[in-house]
Amino acid sequence: MSESILKVNNLVVGFSMYQPRSFHKTTLQVIHSLSLEVNKGEILAVVGSSGSGKSILAHAVLNLLPKNAVVGGEVLYKGQTITKKREKELFGREIAFIPQSIDYLDPVMKVGKQVEGVFGTSKRKEELFNQYKLPIDTSNKYPFQLSGGMARRILICGALMGNPELIIADEPTPGLSLDIAMETLQHFRTFADNGTGVLMITHDIDLALNVADKVAVFYAGSIIEIAPTQDFIKGKDALRHPYSKALIDALPQNEFVPILGTQPYAGDLPSGCLFAKRCKYRNENCVGRQEERELRGGKVRCINAV
Ligand SMILES: Nc1ncnc2c1ncn2[C@@H]1O[C@H](COP(=O)(O)OP(=O)(O)OP(=O)(O)O)[C@@H](O)[C@H]1O
Ligand code: NI
Protein backbone atom coordinates (compact mmCIF):
# COMPACT_ATOMS: atom_id res chain seq x y z
CA MET A 1 0.00 0.00 0.00
CA SER A 2 1.52 3.35 -1.01
CA GLU A 3 1.78 6.11 1.54
CA SER A 4 -0.56 9.07 1.09
CA ILE A 5 1.07 12.51 1.14
CA LEU A 6 -1.98 14.58 0.13
CA LYS A 7 -5.57 13.54 0.50
CA VAL A 8 -8.51 15.72 -0.47
CA ASN A 9 -11.89 14.44 0.74
CA ASN A 10 -15.15 15.84 -0.62
CA LEU A 11 -13.78 19.33 -1.14
CA VAL A 12 -16.44 21.93 -1.86
CA VAL A 13 -15.54 25.54 -2.71
CA GLY A 14 -17.95 28.39 -3.32
CA PHE A 15 -17.61 32.16 -3.49
CA SER A 16 -20.03 34.35 -1.62
CA MET A 17 -20.97 37.19 -3.95
CA TYR A 18 -23.55 39.94 -4.35
CA GLN A 19 -25.98 39.35 -7.13
CA PRO A 20 -25.94 42.01 -9.84
CA ARG A 21 -27.98 45.11 -8.86
CA SER A 22 -28.98 43.58 -5.52
CA PHE A 23 -28.01 43.57 -1.84
CA HIS A 24 -28.46 39.81 -1.64
CA LYS A 25 -25.48 37.53 -1.45
CA THR A 26 -25.45 34.11 -3.07
CA THR A 27 -22.78 31.46 -3.19
CA LEU A 28 -21.35 30.49 -6.56
CA GLN A 29 -20.18 26.92 -6.13
CA VAL A 30 -17.10 26.23 -8.24
CA ILE A 31 -15.83 22.92 -6.79
CA HIS A 32 -18.23 20.07 -6.06
CA SER A 33 -17.39 17.14 -3.74
CA LEU A 34 -13.94 16.61 -5.12
CA SER A 35 -11.73 13.81 -3.80
CA LEU A 36 -8.23 12.84 -4.83
CA GLU A 37 -5.04 11.44 -3.41
CA VAL A 38 -1.36 11.95 -4.16
CA ASN A 39 0.93 9.25 -2.80
CA LYS A 40 4.61 9.48 -1.99
CA GLY A 41 6.67 9.04 -5.14
CA GLU A 42 3.75 9.76 -7.43
CA ILE A 43 2.89 12.47 -9.96
CA LEU A 44 -0.80 13.20 -10.37
CA ALA A 45 -1.49 15.39 -13.40
CA VAL A 46 -4.65 17.49 -13.33
CA VAL A 47 -6.03 18.46 -16.74
CA GLY A 48 -9.24 20.11 -17.88
CA SER A 49 -10.60 23.16 -19.59
CA SER A 50 -10.10 26.74 -18.49
CA GLY A 51 -12.32 27.68 -15.55
CA SER A 52 -12.88 24.06 -14.48
CA GLY A 53 -11.48 24.71 -10.99
CA LYS A 54 -7.89 23.45 -11.20
CA SER A 55 -6.27 26.51 -9.63
CA ILE A 56 -9.00 26.74 -7.00
CA LEU A 57 -8.08 23.20 -5.91
CA ALA A 58 -4.40 24.23 -5.55
CA HIS A 59 -5.36 27.38 -3.65
CA ALA A 60 -7.70 25.43 -1.36
CA VAL A 61 -4.90 23.01 -0.44
CA LEU A 62 -2.52 25.91 0.23
CA ASN A 63 -5.03 28.07 2.11
CA LEU A 64 -4.70 30.82 -0.47
CA LEU A 65 -8.38 31.30 -1.23
CA PRO A 66 -9.78 34.80 -0.84
CA LYS A 67 -11.90 35.73 2.20
CA ASN A 68 -15.22 35.33 0.38
CA ALA A 69 -14.50 31.64 -0.28
CA VAL A 70 -16.76 29.14 1.47
CA VAL A 71 -14.88 25.87 1.87
CA GLY A 72 -16.09 22.43 2.93
CA GLY A 73 -14.53 18.98 3.06
CA GLU A 74 -11.10 17.98 4.19
CA VAL A 75 -7.49 18.44 3.08
CA LEU A 76 -4.98 16.13 4.75
CA TYR A 77 -1.21 16.41 4.43
CA LYS A 78 0.44 13.20 5.68
CA GLY A 79 -2.87 12.32 7.30
CA GLN A 80 -3.33 15.60 9.20
CA THR A 81 -5.12 18.85 8.49
CA ILE A 82 -2.84 21.82 7.91
CA THR A 83 -3.44 24.16 10.84
CA LYS A 84 -2.35 27.83 10.74
CA LYS A 85 0.60 26.89 12.95
CA ARG A 86 1.71 23.97 10.75
CA GLU A 87 1.20 26.10 7.64
CA LYS A 88 4.11 28.31 8.70
CA GLU A 89 6.38 25.31 9.21
CA LEU A 90 5.37 23.54 5.99
CA PHE A 91 4.81 26.06 3.21
CA GLY A 92 8.00 26.95 1.37
CA ARG A 93 9.83 24.01 2.97
CA GLU A 94 8.11 20.61 2.87
CA ILE A 95 5.36 21.91 0.61
CA ALA A 96 6.46 23.77 -2.53
CA PHE A 97 4.12 25.78 -4.74
CA ILE A 98 4.66 26.94 -8.28
CA PRO A 99 1.84 29.41 -8.96
CA GLN A 100 0.15 29.84 -12.33
CA SER A 101 0.70 33.60 -12.38
CA ILE A 102 4.14 35.18 -12.43
CA ASP A 103 2.53 38.06 -10.52
CA TYR A 104 3.34 36.05 -7.40
CA LEU A 105 6.88 37.43 -7.65
CA ASP A 106 7.45 40.48 -5.45
CA PRO A 107 7.92 43.36 -7.92
CA VAL A 108 10.25 45.34 -5.65
CA MET A 109 12.61 42.56 -4.52
CA LYS A 110 15.56 41.26 -6.57
CA VAL A 111 14.76 37.80 -7.82
CA GLY A 112 17.89 36.11 -6.41
CA LYS A 113 16.71 36.95 -2.91
CA GLN A 114 13.21 35.72 -3.71
CA VAL A 115 14.51 32.39 -4.97
CA GLU A 116 16.66 31.83 -1.88
CA GLY A 117 13.79 32.80 0.39
CA VAL A 118 14.24 32.34 4.10
CA PHE A 119 15.56 28.80 4.06
CA GLY A 120 17.66 28.58 0.86
CA THR A 121 21.38 28.86 0.16
CA SER A 122 23.21 30.67 -2.64
CA LYS A 123 24.95 27.39 -3.58
CA ARG A 124 21.64 25.65 -4.24
CA LYS A 125 20.38 28.73 -6.09
CA GLU A 126 23.41 28.64 -8.43
CA GLU A 127 22.85 24.93 -9.05
CA LEU A 128 19.23 25.58 -10.01
CA PHE A 129 20.04 28.64 -12.16
CA ASN A 130 22.53 26.50 -14.02
CA GLN A 131 20.02 23.73 -14.54
CA TYR A 132 17.33 26.17 -15.71
CA LYS A 133 19.76 28.09 -17.95
CA LEU A 134 19.41 31.37 -16.08
CA PRO A 135 22.55 33.54 -16.20
CA ILE A 136 23.84 33.99 -12.67
CA ASP A 137 23.49 37.79 -12.84
CA THR A 138 19.72 37.23 -13.12
CA SER A 139 19.87 37.27 -9.31
CA ASN A 140 20.31 41.03 -9.33
CA LYS A 141 17.34 41.71 -11.55
CA TYR A 142 13.84 42.74 -10.61
CA PRO A 143 10.85 40.78 -11.98
CA PHE A 144 9.97 43.49 -14.55
CA GLN A 145 13.41 43.02 -16.13
CA LEU A 146 12.68 39.35 -16.96
CA SER A 147 10.89 37.77 -19.87
CA GLY A 148 7.79 35.68 -19.04
CA GLY A 149 9.74 32.45 -19.52
CA MET A 150 12.56 33.62 -17.22
CA ALA A 151 10.06 34.69 -14.56
CA ARG A 152 8.45 31.25 -14.75
CA ARG A 153 11.86 29.59 -14.31
CA ILE A 154 12.50 31.82 -11.28
CA LEU A 155 9.23 30.59 -9.73
CA ILE A 156 10.29 26.99 -10.38
CA CYS A 157 13.77 27.53 -8.87
CA GLY A 158 12.20 29.17 -5.81
CA ALA A 159 9.85 26.24 -5.27
CA LEU A 160 12.57 23.62 -5.68
CA MET A 161 15.05 25.40 -3.40
CA GLY A 162 14.33 23.20 -0.41
CA ASN A 163 13.70 19.50 -0.38
CA PRO A 164 9.94 19.41 -0.82
CA GLU A 165 7.89 16.35 0.09
CA LEU A 166 4.90 17.74 -1.81
CA ILE A 167 5.11 19.90 -4.94
CA ILE A 168 2.00 21.65 -6.19
CA ALA A 169 2.68 23.08 -9.65
CA ASP A 170 -0.08 25.14 -11.29
CA GLU A 171 0.69 25.35 -15.02
CA PRO A 172 4.48 25.33 -14.67
CA THR A 173 5.34 25.27 -18.38
CA PRO A 174 3.74 28.15 -20.37
CA GLY A 175 6.36 30.44 -21.89
CA LEU A 176 9.10 27.83 -21.58
CA SER A 177 10.88 26.36 -24.58
CA LEU A 178 10.04 22.71 -25.21
CA ASP A 179 13.38 21.46 -23.83
CA ILE A 180 13.15 23.51 -20.64
CA ALA A 181 9.48 22.49 -20.21
CA MET A 182 10.48 18.84 -20.63
CA GLU A 183 13.43 19.26 -18.28
CA THR A 184 11.16 20.82 -15.65
CA LEU A 185 8.82 17.85 -15.82
CA GLN A 186 11.76 15.43 -15.70
CA HIS A 187 12.95 17.32 -12.63
CA PHE A 188 9.55 16.68 -11.00
CA ARG A 189 9.97 13.02 -11.97
CA THR A 190 13.36 12.89 -10.24
CA PHE A 191 11.83 14.41 -7.10
CA ALA A 192 8.99 11.87 -7.28
CA ASP A 193 11.44 8.99 -7.75
CA ASN A 194 13.03 10.13 -4.50
CA GLY A 195 9.70 10.01 -2.67
CA THR A 196 8.12 13.44 -3.28
CA GLY A 197 4.42 13.62 -4.20
CA VAL A 198 3.60 15.96 -7.09
CA LEU A 199 0.25 17.52 -8.01
CA MET A 200 0.79 18.99 -11.45
CA ILE A 201 -1.90 21.11 -13.06
CA THR A 202 -1.39 21.50 -16.78
CA HIS A 203 -3.00 22.26 -20.13
CA ASP A 204 -0.39 20.21 -21.88
CA ILE A 205 -1.70 16.65 -21.68
CA ASP A 206 0.94 15.39 -24.10
CA LEU A 207 3.81 16.67 -22.03
CA ALA A 208 2.23 15.48 -18.80
CA LEU A 209 1.86 11.91 -20.09
CA ASN A 210 5.66 11.66 -20.27
CA VAL A 211 6.07 11.86 -16.51
CA ALA A 212 2.75 11.47 -14.67
CA ASP A 213 1.58 8.28 -12.96
CA LYS A 214 -2.10 9.18 -12.87
CA VAL A 215 -4.26 11.78 -14.57
CA ALA A 216 -7.35 13.49 -13.14
CA VAL A 217 -9.69 15.17 -15.60
CA PHE A 218 -11.65 18.22 -14.36
CA TYR A 219 -14.89 19.45 -15.86
CA ALA A 220 -17.01 22.29 -14.44
CA GLY A 221 -15.66 21.89 -10.90
CA SER A 222 -15.84 18.08 -10.69
CA ILE A 223 -13.41 15.30 -11.42
CA ILE A 224 -15.06 13.26 -14.14
CA GLU A 225 -12.29 10.66 -14.44
CA ILE A 226 -9.10 9.59 -12.70
CA ALA A 227 -7.06 7.00 -14.58
CA PRO A 228 -3.53 5.60 -14.77
CA THR A 229 -1.42 7.51 -17.34
CA GLN A 230 -1.07 4.29 -19.33
CA ASP A 231 -4.77 4.44 -20.21
CA PHE A 232 -4.33 7.92 -21.72
CA ILE A 233 -1.32 6.68 -23.70
CA LYS A 234 -3.22 3.62 -24.96
CA GLY A 235 -5.89 5.94 -26.31
CA LYS A 236 -9.56 6.66 -26.00
CA ASP A 237 -10.77 3.06 -25.85
CA ALA A 238 -8.90 2.55 -22.59
CA LEU A 239 -10.53 5.64 -21.05
CA ARG A 240 -13.87 5.76 -19.26
CA HIS A 241 -15.56 9.16 -19.64
CA PRO A 242 -16.73 10.58 -23.00
CA TYR A 243 -15.08 13.93 -22.14
CA SER A 244 -11.67 12.28 -21.54
CA LYS A 245 -12.07 10.39 -24.81
CA ALA A 246 -12.92 13.65 -26.56
CA LEU A 247 -9.83 15.32 -25.07
CA ILE A 248 -7.68 12.59 -26.61
CA ASP A 249 -9.41 13.00 -29.97
CA ALA A 250 -8.73 16.73 -29.83
CA LEU A 251 -4.92 16.27 -29.61
CA PRO A 252 -3.11 17.43 -32.76
CA GLN A 253 -1.50 14.04 -33.38
CA ASN A 254 -4.89 12.32 -33.21
CA GLU A 255 -7.93 13.34 -35.15
CA PHE A 256 -7.79 16.96 -33.92
CA VAL A 257 -11.58 16.84 -33.45
CA PRO A 258 -12.82 19.92 -31.56
CA ILE A 259 -15.27 19.39 -28.69
CA LEU A 260 -18.32 21.35 -29.74
CA GLY A 261 -20.15 23.54 -27.24
CA THR A 262 -18.88 25.04 -23.99
CA GLN A 263 -18.47 23.98 -20.39
CA PRO A 264 -21.53 25.07 -18.35
CA TYR A 265 -21.25 28.18 -16.18
CA ALA A 266 -20.76 27.45 -12.46
CA GLY A 267 -23.92 29.41 -11.61
CA ASP A 268 -26.09 27.45 -14.03
CA LEU A 269 -25.11 23.78 -13.83
CA PRO A 270 -27.49 21.06 -14.99
CA SER A 271 -28.73 18.72 -12.24
CA GLY A 272 -27.60 15.58 -14.08
CA CYS A 273 -24.39 14.88 -15.97
CA LEU A 274 -22.41 18.11 -16.46
CA PHE A 275 -21.15 17.03 -19.88
CA ALA A 276 -24.43 15.59 -21.23
CA LYS A 277 -25.26 18.56 -23.44
CA ARG A 278 -22.06 18.01 -25.45
CA CYS A 279 -21.96 14.22 -25.24
CA LYS A 280 -22.69 12.14 -28.30
CA TYR A 281 -23.50 9.11 -26.13
CA ARG A 282 -26.12 10.82 -23.93
CA ASN A 283 -29.32 8.95 -23.12
CA GLU A 284 -32.05 8.94 -20.49
CA ASN A 285 -29.57 7.79 -17.80
CA CYS A 286 -27.76 11.12 -17.95
CA VAL A 287 -30.46 13.24 -16.33
CA GLY A 288 -29.74 11.94 -12.82
CA ARG A 289 -26.80 13.00 -10.64
CA GLN A 290 -23.64 11.18 -11.69
CA GLU A 291 -21.90 9.63 -8.68
CA GLU A 292 -18.21 8.83 -8.79
CA ARG A 293 -17.58 5.09 -9.09
CA GLU A 294 -14.64 2.75 -9.52
CA LEU A 295 -14.17 1.27 -12.94
CA ARG A 296 -11.29 -0.75 -14.44
CA GLY A 297 -8.63 0.57 -12.01
CA GLY A 298 -9.79 4.18 -12.28
CA LYS A 299 -12.75 6.35 -11.27
CA VAL A 300 -15.47 7.84 -13.40
CA ARG A 301 -18.61 9.97 -13.13
CA CYS A 302 -20.65 8.59 -16.01
CA ILE A 303 -23.42 6.07 -15.54
CA ASN A 304 -22.99 4.74 -19.07
CA ALA A 305 -19.24 4.14 -18.87
CA VAL A 306 -18.20 0.48 -19.10
N1 LIG B 1 -12.31 34.96 -6.33
C2 LIG B 1 -13.26 34.41 -7.10
N3 LIG B 1 -14.55 34.78 -7.00
C4 LIG B 1 -15.50 34.20 -7.78
N5 LIG B 1 -15.27 33.24 -8.68
C6 LIG B 1 -14.00 32.83 -8.84
C7 LIG B 1 -12.92 33.39 -8.06
N8 LIG B 1 -11.76 32.77 -8.44
C9 LIG B 1 -12.12 31.89 -9.41
N10 LIG B 1 -13.44 31.91 -9.64
C11 LIG B 1 -14.18 31.07 -10.60
O12 LIG B 1 -13.90 29.71 -10.28
C13 LIG B 1 -13.87 28.92 -11.46
C14 LIG B 1 -12.61 28.07 -11.51
O15 LIG B 1 -11.48 28.90 -11.64
P16 LIG B 1 -9.99 28.33 -11.73
O17 LIG B 1 -9.07 29.52 -11.73
O18 LIG B 1 -9.75 27.31 -10.69
O19 LIG B 1 -9.97 27.65 -13.16
P20 LIG B 1 -8.77 26.83 -13.84
O21 LIG B 1 -9.26 25.45 -14.10
O22 LIG B 1 -7.53 26.97 -13.04
O23 LIG B 1 -8.63 27.61 -15.24
P24 LIG B 1 -7.33 27.94 -16.12
O25 LIG B 1 -7.03 26.68 -16.88
O26 LIG B 1 -7.78 29.04 -17.00
O27 LIG B 1 -6.23 28.36 -15.20
C28 LIG B 1 -13.97 29.88 -12.63
O29 LIG B 1 -15.28 29.81 -13.10
C30 LIG B 1 -13.67 31.23 -12.02
O31 LIG B 1 -14.36 32.25 -12.69
NI1 NI C 1 -5.76 27.88 -13.36
In a domain, 284, yes or no: yes
Nearest-CA residue for atom 10 of ligand 1: 30
Section 211-215 average pLDDT: 98
Residue at 76: amino acid letter: L
Q: Distance between CA 211 and CA 44 in Å, rounded?
A: 9
pLDDT exceeds cutoff 80 at 1: no
Q: Distance between CA 179 and CA 132 in Å, rounded?
A: 10
Q: Distance between CA 231 and CA 63 in Å, rounded?
A: 33
Q: What is the pLDDT of residue 233?
A: 95
The model carries a pTM of 0.95
Q: Is 56 close to ligand 1, i.e. is its CB under 6 Å away? A: yes
Q: Is 223 close to ligand 1, i.e. is its CB under 6 Å away? A: no
* Ligand 1 atom at shortest distance from the alpha carbon of 53: 18
Q: Quick count: other Cβ atoms within 10 Å of Cβ 129?
A: 20
* Ligand 1 atom at shortest distance from the alpha carbon of 203: 25
In a domain, 56, yes or no: yes
pLDDT exceeds cutoff 80 at 81: yes
Residue 239's domain is classified under what CATH number? 3.40.50.300
Q: What is the pLDDT of residue 23?
A: 85
Q: Domain of residue 25: give its range.
A: 4-94+164-300
Q: What is the pLDDT of residue 252?
A: 87
In a domain, 286, yes or no: yes
Distance 271 CA to ligand 1 centre (A): 21
Taking only Cα atoms into account, the Rg of the chain, rounded to an integer number of angstroms, comes to 20
- End-to-end CA gap in the chain: 26
Ligand 1 pocket, mutate which of 16, 19, 47, 56 (most atoms under 8 A from CB): 56
For this complex, say whether ipTM is above 0.90: yes
Nearest-CA residue for atom 12 of ligand 1: 30
pLDDT tens digits for 82-110? 998 999 899 988 999 999 999 999 999 99
Q: What is the pLDDT of residue 248?
A: 93
In a domain, 57, yes or no: yes
In a domain, 252, yes or no: yes
Percent of the chain at pLDDT > 90 equals: 89
In a domain, 123, yes or no: no
Contacts (Cβ under 8 Å, ≥6 apart) of 293: 299, 300, 301
The count of structural domains within the chain is: 1
In a domain, 135, yes or no: no
Distance 54 CA to ligand 2 centre (A): 5
Q: Is 100 close to ligand 1, i.e. is its CB under 6 Å away? A: yes
* Ligand 1 atom at shortest distance from the alpha carbon of 58: 18
Section 279-290 average pLDDT: 95
Nearest-CA residue for atom 29 of ligand 1: 51
Section 224-246 average pLDDT: 97
Quick one: which of 45, 26, 28 has its CA closest to 36? 45
**Do the beta carbons of residue 247 and residue 205 sit within 8 Å?**
yes
In a domain, 99, yes or no: no
Q: Distance between CA 227 and CA 109 in Å, rounded?
A: 42
Q: List 38's β-bridge partners, or say none.
A: 6
